[in-house]
Amino acid sequence: MEAWRLGHRGELDGVRALAVIAVLAGHAGLPGVPRVHVYGVTLFFVLSGFLITSLLLEEAAEHGRIRLGAFYLRRAYRLFPALLVFIAALLVGSRLFGLFDPDEVGRGSRNALLYIVNYARIDGQPMGPLEHLWSLSVEEHFYLVWPAVVVAAFALLGAQARSWLVVIAGVGLGASTAFGLSLLGQAIYVRTENSTETRASGIILGCVLALYMHDREGPLLPARWGAGIGVLAIVALGVLSTDRWMGPVAQYPVEMASITLLGALVLAPSMLNERFAWAPLRRIGRLSYAIYLWHVPVYLLVGGELRTLSLLETVVACAITWGIAEVSMAVVERPFLERRQRSGRTQAERRAPVPVV
């Protein structure tokens, strides 16, 4: 059977847009969606696992091997330049202009460059406008481990690699979910929401979906229902949840809703594919990394504190963030993306996700 291929999917940029819009709304504190930013994070994690695994499998199918060093180099081209510019701007703004606490920015910068912001948050370290980079740390841990596991599986197991990867991913998914659920009754939400061990379940679930699709053909759900169910479930959880009632337990149904959405969009196209591929949404999705990096310090400067912004302050802050993201794409990210193209990346990697939220 011919291997299933993802191909170019403009609607997946729309999915990124949905996730980052959820983050913007939740961090602004818009009424009626108290924790929707957390679910935007979860959607990004699932999407990241799905896309990274898909491109690794497609590179193996196209070339018979996966160049791990080249993979990490291309990730560095994509992620580091914008992050370094962001950190440099905050260091200058805090030390020369007093925009933020210099100690918090310095601490957050060190943790961000080491990709340990998530564990620093668990440890209670204040990092001001860099605390939201915890999710980048979780994703970087995934980037360091999973591609190496995939490469080792193909090198050692050959044709049996995919089957064993499903087993490995299943064990990891079960362990992460079990560990996360074991913590829910202990009221230590900061750990369940930030640690790589507990948040890995969404990323691994995305990996499992990619492995499934690359071995099978046909829709997971009827075209009319799958994507709609996923969108409605994510929106409903964002609206209905509260800190007291849901806590991190909603992570798991949101992960399942995200898988339902992605599976339906890529295997059972419907009218929602066109909606997600709407040009403005695709633009937001392509800018989502820079939007995520910059929105928290902008929110803090405009509103003084997260989740307390008025509607007018939210509109102003989002407009400023969008402008900065456009500049970041044009001046920082695009030149390095073009260099990455010249570095010999595979066609599949042109869809590679960026960690957001």
Condensed to tens digits (0 to 9), the pLDDT of residues 181-201 reads 887 666 567 888 899 999 999
Average pLDDT over residues 41-45: 93
Q: Is 243 helix (H, G, I), strand (E, B) or coil?
A: coil
- Report whether 281 contacts 14 (CB < 8 A): yes
pLDDT tens figures, 144-168: 999 999 999 999 988 889 889 999 9
Q: What is the band of 239 on the pLDDT scale with cuts at 50, 70, 90?
A: low
Q: What is the CA radius of gyration of the chain?
A: 20
The verdict on residue 1 lying in a domain is no
Whose CA is closest to 169, among 201, 135, 215, 199?
201
Integer CA distances (angstroms), 260 to 207, 238, 269, 355, in order: 14, 17, 12, 20
Residue with the bigger pLDDT between 243 and 108: it is 108
Q: What is the dihedral of CA 35, 39, 42, 43, to 10 degrees?
A: -160
Tokens read off for 166: 């499903």
The verdict on residue 71 lying in a domain is yes
Tally of domains within the chain: 1
Tokens read off for 182: 């074991």
Is it the case that residue 96 has pLDDT exceeding 50? yes
The verdict on residue 2 lying in a domain is no
Q: Is 25 helix (H, G, I), strand (E, B) or coil?
A: helix
Tokens read off for 217: 């053909």
The verdict on residue 356 lying in a domain is no
pLDDT tens figures, 328-338: 999 999 988 77
Range name among 101-105, 120-124, 203-207, 336-340 with the lowest pLDDT average: 336-340
Average pLDDT over residues 68-84: 91
- Report whether 15 contacts 265 (CB < 8 A): yes
Q: Is 216 helix (H, G, I), strand (E, B) or coil?
A: coil
Is it the case that residue 347 has pLDDT exceeding 60? no
- Average confidence score pLDDT of the chain: 85
Integer CA distances (angstroms), 81 to 94, 169, 256, 299, in order: 20, 31, 33, 22
The verdict on residue 357 lying in a domain is no
> Domain limits at 17?
10-351
The verdict on residue 4 lying in a domain is no
Phi, psi of 319 (to 5 degrees): -65, -45
Whose CA is closest to 54, among 215, 171, 246?
215
